[in-house]
Amino acid sequence: MLMPSPIPPLRNAMTIDVEDYFQVSAFAPYIARGDWDKCECRVERNVDRLLALLAQKDSKATFFTLGWVAERYPQMVRRIVEQGHELASHGYGHQRVSDLTPEDFLQDIVRTKHLLEDLGGHQVLGYRAPSFSIGAGNLWAFDTLLEAGYRYSSSVYPIQHDHYGMPDSPRFAYAVRDGLLEVPVTTLRLFNKNLPSSGGGYFRLLPYALSRWMIGKVNSVDQQSAVFYCHPWEIDSEQPRVAGIDGKTRFRHYVNIDRTHDRIARLLGDFAWGRMDEIFLGRRAEALSSVSAATTA
């Protein structure tokens, strides 16, 4: 008697926001944008460490890359593409969408798209807003992304947060415009609330077993692919310490960065991972959620 073939595990999307430690939004009050070129850049070595880890685990990822970084490290960008990963846009200079006019935003995302395509030699389909800065107050940004030629965004975090978030938006990929998907980073629905379960500071703060359990629940109960994100600086415990920052910012940025590399290695081994474009753009449109009232301009 023939046994049924085992169902392969869901592939989750591993995403990396390629920016350096001094470019995070929380450091904006302490490090002027005009002083970025004076800071010690560590992004290339950290991206190379992540590339080595992905190769070791035979996993692929999507690298949402700042144009500012790509201009300075074109060979790093080419290594990302040559090793089979997806190159996507994180905007040029890590400016929040909520701080830009529609005209400035269009210029930013077109400039970065063309830059990355010239360096990587492939069409750039995806975009992630710095600090998940597309929300209820600037839904026009989806129209602008569509105009600029993007096929998907991963810019909404459906949680309540002091700096970002749209907790009433859909938790999983949906057609936010005809021809444009929004693929939110992953949350777990528990006690009528969306709990962050997709990386960043929460992944560094929470016990690894809890993060693994939450992603497993999304795969098994929701039967959805998770979207995880991290930053190259999160695996760099030797990065320069920024002086004069407040205690809350210090804790959020530096907590457990000495453990994150090994935690990501465990995560890559515990789940199946892939690129955003391959996981989400191959889905049938009928399988995607319809645009909700929370995301209708």
Q: Which of 125, 175, 188 is nearest to 291 (CA)?
A: 175
pLDDT number for residue 8: 63
Cβ neighbors of 241 (< 8 A, separation 6 or more) are 254
How long, in residues, is the chain? 297
Mean pLDDT of the chain, nearest integer:
91
Separation CA 188–CA 128 (nearest Å): 20
Residue 200, pLDDT > 80, answer: yes
**Residue 295's pLDDT band (cuts 50, 70, 90):** very low
pLDDT number for residue 283: 45
Residue 190, pLDDT > 60, answer: yes
Structure tokens given for 107: 């210029």
Q: Which of 137, 233, 152, 219 is nearest to 186 (CA)?
A: 219
Residue 65 · residue 87 · CB < 8 Å: yes
Q: 3-class SS at 22?
A: helix
In words, the CATH class of domain 11-287 is: alpha beta
Q: 3-class SS at 65?
A: strand
The alpha-helical segments, DSSP class H, found in 57-174 are 67-72, 74-82, 102-120, 140-148
Separation CA 213–CA 120 (nearest Å): 36
Residue 118 · residue 65 · CB < 8 Å: no
Span between the terminal Cα atoms of the chain, in Å? 56
Q: What is the mean pLDDT of residues 147-152?
A: 98
pLDDT number for residue 191: 83
Is the pTM above the cut of 0.85? yes
pLDDT number for residue 192: 83
**Residue 292's pLDDT band (cuts 50, 70, 90):** very low
Residue 284, pLDDT > 50, answer: no
Residue 159, pLDDT > 90, answer: no
Residue 217, pLDDT > 60, answer: yes
Beta bridge partners of 126: 152
